Chain A
Amino acid sequence: MEIKILELTENKAKFILSDVTPAFANALRRIAISEVPSMAIDDVFVYENTSVLTDEMIAHRLGLIPLKTDLDSYVLPEKCSCKSEMGCNRCRVIGSLNVEAEDGRKTVYSGDLKFEDPEVKPVTDKIPIVKLEAGQRLKLEVHAKLGTGKQHAKWQPVSTCAYKYMPTIEVNKRVCDGCGRCVEACPKKVLNVEKEKVVVVDLLSCTLCMECVKVCPKEPPAIKVKGDDKTFIFTVESTGCLPVKRILVEAAKILKDKGEELSRQIKELG
């Protein structure tokens, strides 16, 4: 197995994963989406809401705000030793929001949410939650908890997590006469004509749409496009709750634990 990083920032990663089976790549993708924990608002206690949105709608919008997650100091509520319905300091964070529009219209932003742990805060302070007219008020308490994408999409740490097969494009130089029809047909501008022959200029952008093969006037086509099912181009985008690198490391850890658990159970049987 080999990883070649093409792009890595706090919130986005693009890399080539090679010498693995499609099953392994898919396991990594699925775990990153649905089993890596992140933090989101789960319980909302509304004390006063005279805004035009209903309590449920505001609670839903609050839930969708991604929060900066500290995976090392919090545990999932179901794994917490407290076993309490309201949670303890290790499995939930209490926050509050209290905004009143005194004179004129006011927008309530995600930045108005204040948590008792300063490490937990909304990823951006600029998400509008609701707009208030003069005299309206919103006062509520929230409980943020760790959770996984399996339970609700608000706990999904990634927005995009996808892979595609590494394309392999072969041009038969003896047959190709450089008519350029495949260059025109390609939606991703992967090909170009150089010295009356078609050459590949941007292999990684190829989506394996096969349009170039279809338009080739030669019979059989002078261009061959295939996906290599041992090499994968991964694109992962984080919602901001965790750095994308951490998400992938956690996903790999969870996959390893699952593998160990499986072999332990098989041993028990035999």
Chain B
Amino acid sequence: MVEFIIPVRCFTCGAVIGDKWEEFSRRVKAGEDPGKVLDELGVKKYCCRRMLLSHVEVIDEILEFSKFKGEIKKEPW
């Protein structure tokens, strides 16, 4: 699911999932099994599980571009 930043709530049921993203992504990157991490975080329903499983944090890439903003302002023109 390509969202800018992790959604606050599950699209289907409305349970809060935003607060679980950072731990989920950190542990999965460290090599843990995503299914197990979700179980341990208490994300039971499959609607909520897909929110975290399929998320791509695009904002990290967008932020790379906004880095230049400050420097351009300082140019003489």
- Which residues of the other chain, A, contact B19 by a CB distance below 8 angstroms? 110, 124, 126-127
Q: Tell me how many residues of A have a C-beta within 8 Å of chain B.
A: 27
Q: Is the CB of B16 within 8 A of A53?
A: no
Note all chain B residues with C-beta closer than 8 A to A126: 18-19, 22
Residue of B nearest to A136 (CB): B66
CB distance from A176 to the nearest CB of B (A): 33
Given contacts A52-B63, A128-B21, contact A237 B15 (CB under 8 A): yes
Q: Given A127-B18, A240-B16, answer yes or no on A64-B8 (Cβ-Cβ < 8 Å).
A: yes
B-side contacts of A239, CB under 8 Å: 9, 14-16
Would B66 and A133 count as touching, CB distance under 8 A? Answer: yes
Are B4 and A53 in contact, CB atoms less than 8 angstroms apart? yes
In B7-56, the 8 Å CB interface with A consists of: 8-10, 13-16, 18-19, 21-22, 45
> Tally of A-B residue pairs with Cβ under 8 A?
65
Among the listed A61, A105, A128, A153, which residue makes an inter-chain contact with B14, where contact means beta carbons less than 8 Å apart?
Answer: A153
A240 to B4, CA, bound (A): 25
A contacts with B: majority SS: loop
Q: In the complex the two chains form, is B16's CB within 8 Å of A127's CB? A: yes
Report A-chain residues with C-beta under 8 Å of the C-beta of B15.
159-160, 237, 239
Determine whether A215 belongs to the interface, using a CB cutoff of 8 Å to chain B: no
Across-interface contacts of A130 in B (CB, < 8 A): 5, 59
Of all chain A residues, the one with the shortest Cβ separation from B57 is A131
Tell me which residues across on chain B come within 8 A of A131, comparing CB atoms: 5, 59-60, 63
Please measure, in the bound complex, the distance between the C-alpha atom of A123 and the C-alpha atom of B9, giving whole angstroms: 13
Is the beta-carbon distance between B16 and A124 smaller than 8 angstroms?
yes
Residues of chain B within 8 A of A128, CB atoms compared: 5-6, 18, 21-22
Interface presence of A134 (CB below 8 A): yes
In the complex, how many angstroms separate the beta carbon of B39 from the nearest chain A beta carbon? 16
A-side residues, CB < 8 A to B, are 52-53, 57, 61, 64-66, 105, 110, 123-124, 126-128, 130-131, 133-136, 153, 156, 159-160, 237, 239-240
30 residue pairs of the A-B complex, CB under 8 angstroms, read A52-B59, A52-B62, A52-B66, A53-B5, A53-B59, A57-B4, A64-B8, A65-B8, A65-B16, A105-B63, A123-B16, A127-B8, A127-B16, A127-B18, A127-B19, A128-B5, A128-B18, A128-B22, A130-B5, A131-B5, A131-B63, A133-B63, A133-B66, A133-B69, A135-B69, A153-B14, A159-B13, A160-B13, A160-B45, A239-B9
